[in-house]
Amino acid sequence: MESQEFRRFGKEVIDLIADYIENVRDRNVLPSVEPGYLLKMLPEEAPEQPEHWHDVVKDVHNTILPGLTHWQSPQFHAFYPAGHSYASILGSMLNDGLSIIGLSWKASPVCTELEVITMNWFGKLLGLPEEFLNCSPGPGGGVIQGSASESTLIALLVAKDKTIRRLNIVDHIDDEDEIKPKLVAYTSDQCNSSVEKAGLLGSMKIKLLKTDANGRLRGETLKKAIEEDKAMGLIPCFVTATLGTTATCAFDPLYELGPICNRENVWLHVDAAYAGPVFMCPEYRHLMKGIEYVSSIVTNPHKWMLVNFDCSAMWLKDGRDIKRAFDVKRIYLDDTENNLNIPDYRHWQIPLGRRFRSLKLWTVMRIHGAEGLRKHIRSQISLALHFAKLVGADDRFLIEPEPSMGLVCFRLKDGDKTTQQLLENLTRKKKIFMVAGLYRTRYVIRFVVCSALTTKEDVEYSWDVIKIETDLMYTNLIHTLPQIKTMDEILSREMYEKLQ
Protein backbone atom coordinates (compact mmCIF):
# COMPACT_ATOMS: atom_id res chain seq x y z
CA MET A 1 0.00 0.00 0.00
CA GLU A 2 1.46 3.32 -1.06
CA SER A 3 1.36 6.51 0.94
CA GLN A 4 -1.37 8.06 -1.22
CA GLU A 5 -3.60 5.03 -0.78
CA PHE A 6 -3.03 5.10 2.97
CA ARG A 7 -4.16 8.73 3.07
CA ARG A 8 -7.41 7.67 1.40
CA PHE A 9 -8.06 4.35 3.13
CA GLY A 10 -6.94 5.65 6.52
CA LYS A 11 -9.54 8.40 6.36
CA GLU A 12 -12.18 5.86 5.41
CA VAL A 13 -11.22 3.83 8.47
CA ILE A 14 -11.62 6.95 10.63
CA ASP A 15 -15.18 7.24 9.34
CA LEU A 16 -15.77 3.53 9.81
CA ILE A 17 -14.75 3.85 13.48
CA ALA A 18 -16.89 6.95 14.06
CA ASP A 19 -19.86 5.28 12.32
CA TYR A 20 -19.40 2.18 14.45
CA ILE A 21 -19.33 4.12 17.70
CA GLU A 22 -22.24 6.38 16.74
CA ASN A 23 -24.40 3.36 15.93
CA VAL A 24 -23.19 0.77 18.42
CA ARG A 25 -26.28 1.39 20.57
CA ASP A 26 -28.46 -0.12 17.81
CA ARG A 27 -26.65 -3.44 17.76
CA ASN A 28 -27.32 -6.37 20.03
CA VAL A 29 -24.49 -6.25 22.54
CA LEU A 30 -23.90 -10.00 22.14
CA PRO A 31 -23.31 -11.55 18.72
CA SER A 32 -25.45 -14.27 17.13
CA VAL A 33 -22.71 -16.61 16.06
CA GLU A 34 -21.88 -20.18 16.92
CA PRO A 35 -18.38 -21.41 17.75
CA GLY A 36 -16.46 -21.96 14.55
CA TYR A 37 -18.54 -19.47 12.52
CA LEU A 38 -15.50 -17.60 11.20
CA LEU A 39 -13.53 -20.74 10.43
CA LYS A 40 -16.31 -21.59 8.01
CA MET A 41 -16.38 -18.13 6.40
CA LEU A 42 -12.70 -17.36 5.79
CA PRO A 43 -10.26 -19.18 3.50
CA GLU A 44 -7.91 -21.78 4.93
CA GLU A 45 -4.81 -20.19 3.46
CA ALA A 46 -3.40 -16.69 3.27
CA PRO A 47 -3.88 -15.14 -0.17
CA GLU A 48 -0.94 -15.62 -2.51
CA GLN A 49 -1.53 -12.31 -4.30
CA PRO A 50 -2.06 -8.91 -2.63
CA GLU A 51 -5.71 -8.00 -2.14
CA HIS A 52 -7.47 -4.65 -2.31
CA TRP A 53 -8.20 -2.77 0.92
CA HIS A 54 -11.85 -2.46 0.01
CA ASP A 55 -12.16 -6.24 -0.07
CA VAL A 56 -10.76 -6.33 3.45
CA VAL A 57 -13.29 -3.69 4.52
CA LYS A 58 -16.10 -5.76 3.01
CA ASP A 59 -14.99 -8.67 5.19
CA VAL A 60 -14.82 -6.39 8.22
CA HIS A 61 -18.51 -5.64 7.74
CA ASN A 62 -19.57 -9.16 6.81
CA THR A 63 -17.39 -11.35 8.99
CA ILE A 64 -15.68 -9.32 11.76
CA LEU A 65 -18.44 -7.05 13.08
CA PRO A 66 -21.01 -9.88 13.33
CA GLY A 67 -18.64 -11.79 15.63
CA LEU A 68 -17.98 -8.96 18.06
CA THR A 69 -19.23 -8.61 21.58
CA HIS A 70 -19.66 -4.86 21.67
CA TRP A 71 -17.70 -3.70 24.71
CA GLN A 72 -18.45 -0.08 23.86
CA SER A 73 -22.19 -0.63 23.69
CA PRO A 74 -24.11 1.23 26.42
CA GLN A 75 -25.73 -2.14 27.13
CA PHE A 76 -22.42 -3.82 27.93
CA HIS A 77 -22.43 -4.32 31.70
CA ALA A 78 -20.11 -7.32 32.03
CA PHE A 79 -16.66 -7.68 33.65
CA TYR A 80 -15.26 -4.15 33.94
CA PRO A 81 -14.94 -1.47 31.24
CA ALA A 82 -12.55 -1.67 28.28
CA GLY A 83 -11.29 1.89 28.03
CA HIS A 84 -12.12 3.76 24.85
CA SER A 85 -12.03 7.37 23.77
CA TYR A 86 -11.32 9.25 20.59
CA ALA A 87 -8.41 11.01 22.31
CA SER A 88 -6.88 7.64 23.11
CA ILE A 89 -7.34 6.33 19.57
CA LEU A 90 -5.50 9.36 18.20
CA GLY A 91 -2.64 8.75 20.65
CA SER A 92 -2.53 5.12 19.64
CA MET A 93 -2.47 6.06 15.94
CA LEU A 94 0.55 8.25 16.57
CA ASN A 95 2.26 5.33 18.28
CA ASP A 96 1.63 3.08 15.29
CA GLY A 97 2.55 5.75 12.78
CA LEU A 98 5.89 6.57 14.40
CA SER A 99 6.50 2.91 15.24
CA ILE A 100 9.50 3.03 17.51
CA ILE A 101 10.54 0.54 20.17
CA GLY A 102 11.74 2.14 23.38
CA LEU A 103 14.07 -0.58 24.59
CA SER A 104 16.47 1.98 26.04
CA TRP A 105 16.64 5.76 26.40
CA LYS A 106 18.77 6.03 23.26
CA ALA A 107 16.37 3.84 21.26
CA SER A 108 13.98 6.80 21.48
CA PRO A 109 14.51 9.30 24.28
CA VAL A 110 10.97 10.65 24.09
CA CYS A 111 9.48 7.20 24.77
CA THR A 112 11.15 6.96 28.17
CA GLU A 113 10.69 10.61 29.08
CA LEU A 114 7.01 10.96 28.18
CA GLU A 115 6.34 7.84 30.25
CA VAL A 116 8.08 9.41 33.25
CA ILE A 117 6.08 12.61 32.76
CA THR A 118 2.66 11.04 32.26
CA MET A 119 3.17 8.66 35.18
CA ASN A 120 4.07 11.65 37.36
CA TRP A 121 0.96 13.46 36.14
CA PHE A 122 -1.29 10.50 36.76
CA GLY A 123 0.22 9.67 40.15
CA LYS A 124 -0.30 13.26 41.27
CA LEU A 125 -3.92 13.19 40.06
CA LEU A 126 -4.52 10.09 42.19
CA GLY A 127 -2.97 11.73 45.23
CA LEU A 128 -0.30 9.04 45.60
CA PRO A 129 2.41 9.80 48.17
CA GLU A 130 5.26 11.65 46.48
CA GLU A 131 7.75 8.85 47.13
CA PHE A 132 6.07 6.71 44.45
CA LEU A 133 6.81 9.29 41.77
CA ASN A 134 9.85 9.76 39.57
CA CYS A 135 9.77 13.46 40.31
CA SER A 136 10.50 12.81 43.99
CA PRO A 137 14.12 12.86 45.14
CA GLY A 138 13.91 9.15 46.14
CA PRO A 139 14.18 5.93 44.15
CA GLY A 140 10.44 5.53 43.49
CA GLY A 141 8.82 5.68 40.10
CA GLY A 142 6.05 4.76 37.73
CA VAL A 143 6.04 2.53 34.67
CA ILE A 144 3.45 1.48 32.09
CA GLN A 145 2.95 -2.29 31.84
CA GLY A 146 0.63 -4.26 29.59
CA SER A 147 -1.72 -5.57 32.24
CA ALA A 148 -2.38 -5.81 35.96
CA SER A 149 -1.51 -9.52 35.64
CA GLU A 150 1.96 -8.60 34.44
CA SER A 151 2.37 -5.92 37.11
CA THR A 152 1.38 -8.27 39.91
CA LEU A 153 3.66 -11.01 38.62
CA ILE A 154 6.55 -8.53 38.48
CA ALA A 155 5.87 -7.32 42.02
CA LEU A 156 5.82 -10.91 43.27
CA LEU A 157 9.09 -11.76 41.53
CA VAL A 158 10.81 -8.65 42.84
CA ALA A 159 9.56 -9.37 46.35
CA LYS A 160 10.96 -12.88 46.04
CA ASP A 161 14.35 -11.61 44.92
CA LYS A 162 14.42 -9.00 47.67
CA THR A 163 13.54 -11.49 50.38
CA ILE A 164 16.23 -13.89 49.21
CA ARG A 165 18.82 -11.11 49.24
CA ARG A 166 17.74 -10.01 52.71
CA LEU A 167 18.00 -13.54 54.09
CA ASN A 168 21.41 -13.93 52.44
CA ILE A 169 22.67 -10.90 54.28
CA VAL A 170 20.76 -10.87 57.55
CA ASP A 171 20.40 -14.58 58.27
CA HIS A 172 23.43 -15.71 56.24
CA ILE A 173 21.38 -18.28 54.34
CA ASP A 174 23.37 -18.67 51.16
CA ASP A 175 21.38 -21.41 49.53
CA GLU A 176 18.52 -19.93 47.53
CA ASP A 177 17.05 -23.38 47.09
CA GLU A 178 16.61 -23.61 50.81
CA ILE A 179 14.68 -20.33 50.91
CA LYS A 180 12.47 -20.53 47.81
CA PRO A 181 10.18 -23.42 48.82
CA LYS A 182 9.48 -21.68 52.14
CA LEU A 183 8.28 -18.38 50.66
CA VAL A 184 4.57 -17.65 50.96
CA ALA A 185 2.30 -15.09 49.32
CA TYR A 186 -1.10 -14.01 50.62
CA THR A 187 -4.15 -12.46 49.11
CA SER A 188 -7.88 -12.71 49.69
CA ASP A 189 -10.44 -15.20 48.43
CA GLN A 190 -11.86 -12.25 46.46
CA CYS A 191 -8.64 -11.63 44.50
CA ASN A 192 -8.65 -11.45 40.74
CA SER A 193 -7.62 -14.65 38.97
CA SER A 194 -4.45 -12.87 37.86
CA VAL A 195 -3.19 -12.70 41.45
CA GLU A 196 -3.57 -16.43 41.94
CA LYS A 197 -1.94 -16.94 38.55
CA ALA A 198 1.03 -14.77 39.59
CA GLY A 199 1.73 -17.26 42.37
CA LEU A 200 1.47 -20.11 39.89
CA LEU A 201 3.76 -18.43 37.35
CA GLY A 202 6.18 -17.13 39.96
CA SER A 203 6.47 -20.50 41.73
CA MET A 204 5.35 -19.20 45.11
CA LYS A 205 2.75 -20.77 47.38
CA ILE A 206 -0.17 -18.37 47.50
CA LYS A 207 -2.84 -18.47 50.19
CA LEU A 208 -6.30 -17.08 49.53
CA LEU A 209 -7.35 -15.83 52.96
CA LYS A 210 -10.98 -15.60 54.01
CA THR A 211 -12.55 -12.16 53.72
CA ASP A 212 -14.99 -10.56 56.13
CA ALA A 213 -18.72 -10.22 55.48
CA ASN A 214 -17.98 -7.28 53.17
CA GLY A 215 -15.46 -9.11 51.01
CA ARG A 216 -12.46 -7.39 52.65
CA LEU A 217 -9.21 -8.96 53.77
CA ARG A 218 -8.76 -7.84 57.38
CA GLY A 219 -5.56 -7.22 59.31
CA GLU A 220 -6.35 -9.81 61.97
CA THR A 221 -6.77 -12.52 59.34
CA LEU A 222 -3.45 -11.71 57.70
CA LYS A 223 -1.68 -11.45 61.04
CA LYS A 224 -2.91 -14.87 62.11
CA ALA A 225 -1.93 -16.48 58.80
CA ILE A 226 1.56 -14.99 58.95
CA GLU A 227 2.05 -16.11 62.54
CA GLU A 228 0.90 -19.63 61.81
CA ASP A 229 3.16 -19.90 58.78
CA LYS A 230 6.17 -18.53 60.60
CA ALA A 231 5.60 -21.06 63.36
CA MET A 232 5.74 -23.75 60.69
CA GLY A 233 9.07 -22.46 59.40
CA LEU A 234 7.69 -20.72 56.33
CA ILE A 235 8.78 -17.26 55.18
CA PRO A 236 6.01 -14.70 54.49
CA CYS A 237 7.09 -12.69 51.46
CA PHE A 238 4.30 -11.04 49.50
CA VAL A 239 0.76 -9.75 50.01
CA THR A 240 -1.63 -8.52 47.32
CA ALA A 241 -4.40 -6.32 48.64
CA THR A 242 -7.25 -5.35 46.35
CA LEU A 243 -8.82 -1.92 46.07
CA GLY A 244 -11.99 -2.75 44.15
CA THR A 245 -12.37 -6.52 43.90
CA THR A 246 -13.67 -8.03 40.67
CA ALA A 247 -16.68 -9.74 42.22
CA THR A 248 -18.11 -6.92 44.37
CA CYS A 249 -15.67 -3.97 44.18
CA ALA A 250 -14.68 -4.28 47.85
CA PHE A 251 -11.72 -2.32 49.24
CA ASP A 252 -9.22 -4.04 51.52
CA PRO A 253 -8.18 -1.82 54.47
CA LEU A 254 -4.57 -0.95 53.70
CA TYR A 255 -4.30 0.81 57.07
CA GLU A 256 -4.74 -2.60 58.73
CA LEU A 257 -2.65 -4.70 56.33
CA GLY A 258 0.15 -2.16 55.83
CA PRO A 259 1.62 -1.99 59.34
CA ILE A 260 1.67 -5.79 59.56
CA CYS A 261 3.49 -6.10 56.23
CA ASN A 262 6.01 -3.43 57.13
CA ARG A 263 6.71 -5.05 60.48
CA GLU A 264 7.15 -8.47 58.92
CA ASN A 265 9.30 -7.29 55.99
CA VAL A 266 6.59 -8.41 53.59
CA TRP A 267 6.06 -6.68 50.23
CA LEU A 268 2.58 -5.17 50.06
CA HIS A 269 1.28 -4.89 46.51
CA VAL A 270 -2.03 -3.23 45.67
CA ASP A 271 -4.25 -4.35 42.81
CA ALA A 272 -6.51 -1.38 42.03
CA ALA A 273 -6.91 -2.43 38.41
CA TYR A 274 -10.45 -1.15 37.98
CA ALA A 275 -11.13 1.22 40.85
CA GLY A 276 -7.81 3.10 40.98
CA PRO A 277 -8.91 6.10 38.91
CA VAL A 278 -11.59 6.91 41.51
CA PHE A 279 -8.81 8.36 43.67
CA MET A 280 -8.67 11.27 41.24
CA CYS A 281 -11.79 12.37 43.17
CA PRO A 282 -10.71 13.42 46.68
CA GLU A 283 -14.01 12.27 48.20
CA TYR A 284 -12.96 8.63 47.63
CA ARG A 285 -9.38 8.83 48.87
CA HIS A 286 -10.30 7.52 52.32
CA LEU A 287 -10.60 4.14 50.55
CA MET A 288 -6.83 4.08 50.04
CA LYS A 289 -6.00 5.08 53.60
CA GLY A 290 -2.72 3.36 54.46
CA ILE A 291 -1.27 3.69 50.93
CA GLU A 292 1.98 4.91 52.46
CA TYR A 293 2.71 1.37 53.72
CA VAL A 294 2.55 -0.06 50.23
CA SER A 295 5.56 -1.24 48.14
CA SER A 296 3.83 -1.23 44.75
CA ILE A 297 0.46 -0.39 43.26
CA VAL A 298 -1.16 -1.04 39.91
CA THR A 299 -4.21 0.49 38.26
CA ASN A 300 -5.36 0.19 34.66
CA PRO A 301 -6.17 3.41 32.83
CA HIS A 302 -7.34 1.00 30.11
CA LYS A 303 -10.29 0.06 32.27
CA TRP A 304 -12.02 3.06 33.75
CA MET A 305 -9.98 5.99 32.49
CA LEU A 306 -10.83 6.18 28.80
CA VAL A 307 -7.47 4.84 27.64
CA ASN A 308 -7.58 2.01 25.13
CA PHE A 309 -6.25 -1.40 26.12
CA ASP A 310 -3.43 -1.92 26.96
CA CYS A 311 -2.09 0.59 29.46
CA SER A 312 -1.48 -0.60 33.01
CA ALA A 313 0.03 1.98 35.39
CA MET A 314 2.35 0.64 38.08
CA TRP A 315 4.30 2.52 40.72
CA LEU A 316 7.05 1.21 42.97
CA LYS A 317 8.35 2.83 46.09
CA ASP A 318 11.86 1.67 45.26
CA GLY A 319 12.74 1.13 41.60
CA ARG A 320 16.17 -0.21 42.56
CA ASP A 321 14.54 -3.45 43.70
CA ILE A 322 13.21 -4.16 40.23
CA LYS A 323 16.46 -3.36 38.49
CA ARG A 324 18.42 -5.59 40.84
CA ALA A 325 16.07 -8.47 40.15
CA PHE A 326 15.77 -8.23 36.37
CA ASP A 327 19.00 -6.80 34.97
CA VAL A 328 20.50 -8.83 32.12
CA LYS A 329 23.33 -7.15 30.22
CA ARG A 330 24.18 -7.28 26.51
CA ILE A 331 26.67 -5.30 24.46
CA TYR A 332 24.01 -4.25 21.93
CA LEU A 333 21.90 -2.87 24.79
CA ASP A 334 24.50 -0.49 26.09
CA ASP A 335 22.78 2.34 27.93
CA THR A 336 24.58 4.53 30.33
CA GLU A 337 22.81 5.15 33.59
CA ASN A 338 22.16 8.79 34.30
CA ASN A 339 21.35 10.73 37.43
CA LEU A 340 18.21 12.41 36.25
CA ASN A 341 15.71 9.89 37.52
CA ILE A 342 15.18 8.61 34.03
CA PRO A 343 14.89 4.85 34.40
CA ASP A 344 16.01 2.14 32.01
CA TYR A 345 12.49 0.82 31.78
CA ARG A 346 13.51 -2.45 30.16
CA HIS A 347 14.63 -3.59 33.60
CA TRP A 348 11.17 -2.75 34.94
CA GLN A 349 9.25 -5.25 32.86
CA ILE A 350 9.15 -8.75 31.40
CA PRO A 351 9.68 -8.01 27.68
CA LEU A 352 12.68 -6.24 26.22
CA GLY A 353 10.69 -4.21 23.71
CA ARG A 354 8.42 -1.35 24.72
CA ARG A 355 5.62 0.36 22.84
CA PHE A 356 5.22 4.12 23.08
CA ARG A 357 2.13 3.63 25.26
CA SER A 358 2.45 6.88 27.16
CA LEU A 359 1.28 8.70 24.03
CA LYS A 360 -2.34 7.66 24.54
CA LEU A 361 -2.22 8.30 28.28
CA TRP A 362 -0.91 11.76 27.42
CA THR A 363 -3.53 12.54 24.77
CA VAL A 364 -6.33 11.35 27.09
CA MET A 365 -5.16 13.49 30.02
CA ARG A 366 -4.76 16.53 27.78
CA ILE A 367 -7.98 16.23 25.79
CA HIS A 368 -10.16 15.45 28.80
CA GLY A 369 -8.23 17.36 31.45
CA ALA A 370 -8.29 16.32 35.10
CA GLU A 371 -11.71 17.92 35.35
CA GLY A 372 -13.12 15.86 32.47
CA LEU A 373 -11.72 12.63 33.87
CA ARG A 374 -13.21 13.26 37.32
CA LYS A 375 -16.52 14.11 35.71
CA HIS A 376 -16.45 10.81 33.82
CA ILE A 377 -15.79 8.81 37.00
CA ARG A 378 -18.47 10.59 39.01
CA SER A 379 -21.01 10.32 36.25
CA GLN A 380 -20.50 6.56 35.91
CA ILE A 381 -20.90 6.13 39.67
CA SER A 382 -24.11 8.11 39.65
CA LEU A 383 -25.46 6.01 36.77
CA ALA A 384 -24.76 2.88 38.81
CA LEU A 385 -26.62 4.40 41.74
CA HIS A 386 -29.52 5.23 39.46
CA PHE A 387 -29.64 1.57 38.37
CA ALA A 388 -29.50 0.46 42.02
CA LYS A 389 -32.48 2.70 42.78
CA LEU A 390 -34.51 1.09 39.99
CA VAL A 391 -33.64 -2.43 41.16
CA GLY A 392 -34.26 -1.52 44.79
CA ALA A 393 -37.81 -0.39 43.98
CA ASP A 394 -38.69 -3.87 42.68
CA ASP A 395 -39.31 -6.13 45.64
CA ARG A 396 -38.50 -9.31 43.75
CA PHE A 397 -34.85 -8.22 43.87
CA LEU A 398 -32.20 -7.76 46.49
CA ILE A 399 -29.10 -5.60 46.11
CA GLU A 400 -26.18 -7.17 47.90
CA PRO A 401 -23.63 -5.94 48.81
CA GLU A 402 -23.99 -2.15 48.68
CA PRO A 403 -23.24 -0.73 45.22
CA SER A 404 -19.61 0.25 44.88
CA MET A 405 -18.26 2.54 42.16
CA GLY A 406 -19.76 1.55 38.78
CA LEU A 407 -20.83 -1.88 40.03
CA VAL A 408 -24.22 -3.02 41.32
CA CYS A 409 -24.62 -6.66 42.40
CA PHE A 410 -28.19 -7.93 42.64
CA ARG A 411 -30.16 -11.14 42.76
CA LEU A 412 -33.69 -12.44 42.86
CA LYS A 413 -34.97 -13.12 46.36
CA ASP A 414 -36.03 -16.47 44.97
CA GLY A 415 -32.47 -17.72 45.17
CA ASP A 416 -29.41 -18.75 43.19
CA LYS A 417 -31.08 -20.94 40.60
CA THR A 418 -33.70 -18.38 39.66
CA THR A 419 -31.09 -15.67 39.47
CA GLN A 420 -28.86 -17.83 37.32
CA GLN A 421 -31.84 -18.64 35.09
CA LEU A 422 -32.60 -14.94 34.68
CA LEU A 423 -29.00 -14.19 33.66
CA GLU A 424 -29.00 -17.07 31.21
CA ASN A 425 -32.26 -15.90 29.65
CA LEU A 426 -30.96 -12.35 29.33
CA THR A 427 -27.71 -13.52 27.78
CA ARG A 428 -29.61 -15.65 25.30
CA LYS A 429 -31.63 -12.60 24.20
CA LYS A 430 -28.36 -10.66 23.60
CA LYS A 431 -29.81 -7.22 24.42
CA ILE A 432 -27.71 -6.63 27.51
CA PHE A 433 -24.59 -8.39 28.75
CA MET A 434 -23.79 -9.01 32.42
CA VAL A 435 -21.81 -11.74 34.15
CA ALA A 436 -22.18 -13.52 37.48
CA GLY A 437 -20.33 -13.02 40.72
CA LEU A 438 -20.33 -14.61 44.15
CA TYR A 439 -21.22 -12.75 47.33
CA ARG A 440 -21.18 -14.70 50.62
CA THR A 441 -21.51 -17.87 48.52
CA ARG A 442 -24.67 -16.46 46.91
CA TYR A 443 -24.95 -16.18 43.14
CA VAL A 444 -25.31 -12.52 42.15
CA ILE A 445 -25.59 -10.73 38.84
CA ARG A 446 -22.98 -8.03 38.33
CA PHE A 447 -24.18 -4.88 36.56
CA VAL A 448 -21.31 -2.56 35.67
CA VAL A 449 -21.59 0.81 33.97
CA CYS A 450 -18.89 0.21 31.38
CA SER A 451 -19.26 2.21 28.19
CA ALA A 452 -18.44 5.89 28.20
CA LEU A 453 -21.52 6.27 25.97
CA THR A 454 -23.93 5.05 28.66
CA THR A 455 -26.64 7.56 29.58
CA LYS A 456 -29.43 7.56 32.15
CA GLU A 457 -31.80 6.39 29.41
CA ASP A 458 -29.51 3.46 28.58
CA VAL A 459 -29.50 2.40 32.21
CA GLU A 460 -33.29 2.61 32.26
CA TYR A 461 -33.45 0.59 29.06
CA SER A 462 -31.21 -2.09 30.60
CA TRP A 463 -33.40 -2.19 33.68
CA ASP A 464 -36.54 -2.49 31.51
CA VAL A 465 -35.02 -5.45 29.70
CA ILE A 466 -34.21 -7.12 33.04
CA LYS A 467 -37.68 -6.40 34.43
CA ILE A 468 -39.49 -7.70 31.35
CA GLU A 469 -37.39 -10.84 31.32
CA THR A 470 -38.17 -11.39 34.99
CA ASP A 471 -41.91 -10.89 34.36
CA LEU A 472 -41.72 -13.31 31.49
CA MET A 473 -39.87 -15.88 33.53
CA TYR A 474 -42.50 -15.85 36.26
CA THR A 475 -45.36 -15.80 33.75
CA ASN A 476 -43.95 -18.80 31.91
CA LEU A 477 -43.71 -20.47 35.22
CA ILE A 478 -47.43 -19.95 35.78
CA HIS A 479 -48.23 -21.40 32.38
CA THR A 480 -46.06 -24.44 32.77
CA LEU A 481 -47.51 -25.11 36.21
CA PRO A 482 -51.29 -24.63 35.92
CA GLN A 483 -51.92 -25.87 39.42
CA ILE A 484 -50.15 -22.82 40.83
CA LYS A 485 -52.28 -19.75 40.45
CA THR A 486 -50.74 -16.83 42.28
CA MET A 487 -47.45 -15.01 42.15
CA ASP A 488 -47.21 -15.42 45.90
CA GLU A 489 -47.10 -19.16 45.53
CA ILE A 490 -44.56 -18.89 42.74
CA LEU A 491 -42.35 -16.73 44.88
CA SER A 492 -42.01 -19.46 47.42
CA ARG A 493 -38.40 -20.35 46.95
CA GLU A 494 -38.60 -24.05 47.68
CA MET A 495 -41.35 -24.62 45.19
CA TYR A 496 -39.65 -22.68 42.43
CA GLU A 497 -36.38 -24.46 42.88
CA LYS A 498 -38.03 -27.84 42.39
CA LEU A 499 -38.82 -26.75 38.85
CA GLN A 500 -35.23 -26.12 37.84
Of residues 194-223, those binding a copy of itself (CB under 8 A): 194, 196-197, 200-203
Closest to a copy of itself by CB, 35 or 482: 35
Distance between CA atoms of 188 and 22, rounded to whole angstroms?
41
| Binding footprint of a copy of itself, residue count (CB under 8 A) | 146
Do the beta carbons of residue 374 and residue 365 sit within 8 Å? no
- Other CB atoms within 10 A of residue 482 CB: 7
Considering only residues 430 to 449 of the shown chain, the ones binding a copy of itself according to CB under 8 A are 435-438, 443, 446
Do the beta carbons of residue 347 and residue 323 sit within 8 Å? yes
Closest to a copy of itself by CB, 166 or 197: 197
Do the beta carbons of residue 306 and residue 380 sit within 8 Å? no
Q: Residue 44, interface with a copy of itself (CB under 8 A)?
A: yes
Phi-psi region of 79 (alpha: psi -120 to 50; beta: other; left: phi over 0): left
Q: Residue 47, interface with a copy of itself (CB under 8 A)?
A: yes
Q: Specify burial of residue 43 (Cβ count, 10 A radius: 0-12, 13-18, 19+).
A: exposed
Minimum distance from residue 299 beta carbon to a copy of itself (Å): 14
Considering only residues 74 to 113 of the shown chain, the ones binding a copy of itself according to CB under 8 A are 78-79, 82-90, 92-94, 96-101, 103, 105-110, 113
CA torsion angle for 477, 479, 480, 481 (degrees, to 10)? Answer: 80
Pick one of 130, 224, 350, 498: the residue that binds a copy of itself (CB under 8 A).
350
Pick one of 150, 256, 271, 321: the residue that binds a copy of itself (CB under 8 A).
150
Contact residues for 459 (Cβ-Cβ < 8 A; gap 6+): 383, 386, 387, 390, 449
Minimum distance from residue 38 beta carbon to a copy of itself (Å): 4
Pick one of 168, 185, 304, 308: the residue that binds a copy of itself (CB under 8 A).
308
Closest to a copy of itself by CB, 375 or 498: 375
Considering only residues 361 to 390 of the shown chain, the ones binding a copy of itself according to CB under 8 A are 362-363, 365-372
Q: Residue 173, interface with a copy of itself (CB under 8 A)?
A: no
Do the beta carbons of residue 270 and residue 212 sit within 8 Å? no
- From residue 395 to residue 434, the character string flagging contacts with a copy of itself as x (rule: CB under 8 A) and all else as - is ----------------------------------------
Sole window of 263-271, 357-365, 391-399, 468-476 interacting with a copy of itself (rule: CB under 8 A): 357-365
> Interior CA angle at 368 toward 102 and 287, to 5°?
90
Closest to a copy of itself by CB, 72 or 188: 72
Closest to a copy of itself by CB, 202 or 258: 202
Considering only residues 9 to 38 of the shown chain, the ones binding a copy of itself according to CB under 8 A are 9-11, 13-18, 20-22, 30-31, 33, 35-38
Q: Specify burial of residue 131 (Cβ count, 10 A radius: 0-12, 13-18, 19+).
A: middle
Sole window of 189-197, 216-224, 289-297, 411-419 interacting with a copy of itself (rule: CB under 8 A): 189-197
Minimum distance from residue 393 beta carbon to a copy of itself (Å): 26
Closest to a copy of itself by CB, 20 or 461: 20
- From residue 230 to residue 259, the character string flagging contacts with a copy of itself as x (rule: CB under 8 A) and all else as - is ----------------xx------------
Closest to a copy of itself by CB, 10 or 476: 10
Listed in order, strand segments (DSSP E) in 79-193 are 141-145, 183-188
Distance between CA atoms of 440 and 430, rounded to whole angstroms?
28
Sole window of 116-124, 222-230, 233-241, 394-402 interacting with a copy of itself (rule: CB under 8 A): 116-124
Do the beta carbons of residue 464 and residue 75 sit within 8 Å? no
Minimum distance from residue 126 beta carbon to a copy of itself (Å): 11
Distance between CA atoms of 74 and 52, rounded to whole angstroms?
34
Minimum distance from residue 348 beta carbon to a copy of itself (Å): 12
Encode burial over 224-248: b for 16+ CB neighbours within 10 A, e otherwise: ebbeebeeeebbbbbbbbbbbbbbb
Minimum distance from residue 14 beta carbon to a copy of itself (Å): 4
Which H or E element spans position 175? none
Closest CA to 350 of 325, 317, 331, 332: 325
Q: Residue 174, interface with a copy of itself (CB under 8 A)?
A: no
Closest to a copy of itself by CB, 147 or 262: 147
Distance between CA atoms of 81 and 73, rounded to whole angstroms?
11
Considering only residues 268 to 287 of the shown chain, the ones binding a copy of itself according to CB under 8 A are none
Cα 201 to Cα 59, 157, 306, 349: the distances in Å are: 38, 10, 30, 15
DSSP letters, 210-274, are PP-TTS---HHHHHHHHHHHHHTT-EEEEEEEEBS-TTT--B--HHHHHHHHHHTT-EEEEE-TT
Contact residues for 470 (Cβ-Cβ < 8 A; gap 6+): 394, 396, 412, 422
Closest to a copy of itself by CB, 18 or 487: 18
Minimum distance from residue 302 beta carbon to a copy of itself (Å): 8
Considering only residues 316 to 335 of the shown chain, the ones binding a copy of itself according to CB under 8 A are 325-326, 328-334
